[in-house]
A and B are shown apart, each in its own frame.
Chain A
Amino acid sequence: MLAALGRRAIAGLAVVGGVVTLTFVLLLLAPGDPAERLLGPAATPVQLAAQRHALGLDRPLSTQFATWVARAARGDWGTSIATGRPVRALLGEAWPATVSLVGLSLLLSYVLGLAVGAVQAAGTGSRLDTALSVASVTLFAVPGYWLGLMLVMVFTYWARVLPAFGAAGLDADLLTGWARVADQLRHLALPLATLTLVGVGGSARFVRGAMLDVGTQGFITTARAKGVSPARVMLHHVLRNALVPMLVLLGLSLPALFSGAVFVEAVFAWPGVGRVLVDAVHARDYPVVLAATTVSAVLVVVGNLLADALAAWVDPRVRSRERAS
């Protein structure tokens, strides 16, 4: 199993390498000159040439690429053109916010989706099933940024109970102990609810389908024929076997979830990688775009590896297949 995970890790590294190369090539193809952006329209040709030389833009592409990779490997990701801060510091502050938001919403939406899907699968065709199906397909279709705005409208502007922007209040540095935790939780509430609600739609739909698929198999009929109680059949036989495709889906849905987080972070000014990326894209801040893309690819690849490991841990068949191969 470790060997199999090792092979996946190498494939993941290849993906990250591909992303970096692709991003670099695309940035080169793009119109617009970073030196010109940095200096503004009033710069003289001499100043532009000097700035280009300082940024290393006058050297051959292969050298630029090799320099960037070598520096990145040493932890030097360059300086943000728009803010003048080291890119590494920008992203170093951003990634924990994204990981905590995405991780928590993933956990919540899977737990809720599992519950909703299981209730639906237990009473297929009932009125409750239909109602929940309508609800989940609607949530699945709702764009995260719009749902976010609607929640802001209700909870921030009408009810005035929850903050809509950022990860901490203006007075956060003055708060201590529980007051500080409460402040953070209140700021987390709306972005987390948005991302979770959108996620529940997808996971509930999937759980219902997976459980119905398992329900038609021979061993379920056998269990029922043996006289196992319906609740036990549901929990021990159906749900357990439906968990495996769920975990596979978890890995596959990570890129989509991360994509959703980009929009939600933009709406709620959540200080994560998504917002850094959107800001950098607007400012054409190429070093930051390059690094933020890399970081998001790394996060997705690591998440995929975790999902693979979980699937192997839950399903003995996956483990033995990998041992055999």
Chain B
Amino acid sequence: MSHLLRDRRAAFCVGVMAVMVLLATAAPLVSTGAPTAQRDVAATRFLPPLATDQHRVLHPLGTDRFGRDVWTRLVYGARISLSVSALAVLLSVVLGVAVGAAAGYAAGGLGAVLLGVTDFALALPRVVLLLLLASLWQPSTTLVILVLGLTGWMTVARLVYGEVRALAVRPFVEGAIALGARRARVLWRHILPNAMTPVIVAAALGVGNAILLEAGLSFLGLGVQPPAASWGNMIASGRDTLVNAPWIATAPGVALVLVVVACTLLGDALRDQIAAEGGGRR
């Protein structure tokens, strides 16, 4: 970890993520009232950034068309965007590890079938699948998590499959088998812990991707539903007022880009680190 922080990229990412998570957690403390709070709509709507309304409340990022504070919605939106994508990635990692490990460790038919299913799912455009799934049931936050999780496990499965196949023939695994360990135990205690490193990289990249896709679905009106704030539906709500109130769509977009850049660079830094440490392994 200390090695990792010496990498400037990684330090930047950990910083950005820490600030975002902190803001999201402490949302009630760092903002002015509830994210859906409206006062006098006619008097408080479309206030520009840094404006103060007639109640002497400062709006650091301005207000939207209902007079709701954009900064407040941004930090509450961070709660939803970050937790939705973290849960979705968790789901896809669990699924991916299960499928990948089973495919890599099961002999014969089952492995081939699982691998076939994985490759099939990889060949589909993810957004088409997302739209399809999101269109079939009522849009909700739970549905977004499920849909993102169910369409994101394939890369992890592929990585775990490769690792498990490579690890299964290594001497320490053969040693464990020779000592009489059961197959399930060999997989769980000896192979999987060693197969996790690329999964961590994929998970870091996956969180960034999931945030983008969650925002995309919410932007199209198929994700998190208003009046709850998510970065995606905030961008969508600012879309019609780009001319007179550009800050409404700009602020959540900038937050989104920052977080996704952080996740991508974190993935890069982790990968470089693993390559440097594990250089002699392969």
Contact = CB atoms under 8 A, between A and B. Distances in A.
Interface of A: 14-15, 18-19, 23, 26-27, 29-31, 137-138, 140-143, 145-146, 149-150, 152-153, 157, 254-256, 258-260, 262-263, 266-267, 277-278, 280-282, 284, 289, 292-293, 296-297, 300-301, 304
Minimum-distance CB pairs A-B, first 5: A259-B127, A30-B136, A141-B260, A281-B135, A146-B253
The A interface, classified by DSSP as helix, strand, loop or mixed, is: helix
Given A137-B261, A255-B124, A300-B124, A289 B135 contact: yes
Contact of B124 (A266, A284, A292, A297): A297
Contacts, number: 125
A15 B219 contact: no
Contacts of B208: 141
A277 B135 CA distance: 10
B160 to A, nearest CB: 18
A247 to B, nearest CB: 17
B178 interface: no
Most chain A CB atoms below 10 A, which of B124, B137, B216, B257: B124
Contact of A137 (B131, B133, B256, B264): B264
B276 interface: no
B264 A140 contact: yes
B265 interface: yes
Main SS at interface, chain B: helix
Given A31-B137, A143-B253, A282-B221, A301 B123 contact: yes
B242 interface: yes
A146 B235 contact: yes
A289 B137 CA distance: 14
Contact of B120 (A18, A140, A258, A304): A18
B125 interface: yes
Interface string B118-138: 001011111110011111111
Contact of B123 (A152, A282, A300): A300
A88 B213 CA distance: 29
B261 A262 contact: no
A263 B132 contact: no
Most A CB contacts (10 A, CB to CB) among B123, B235, B261 go to: B123
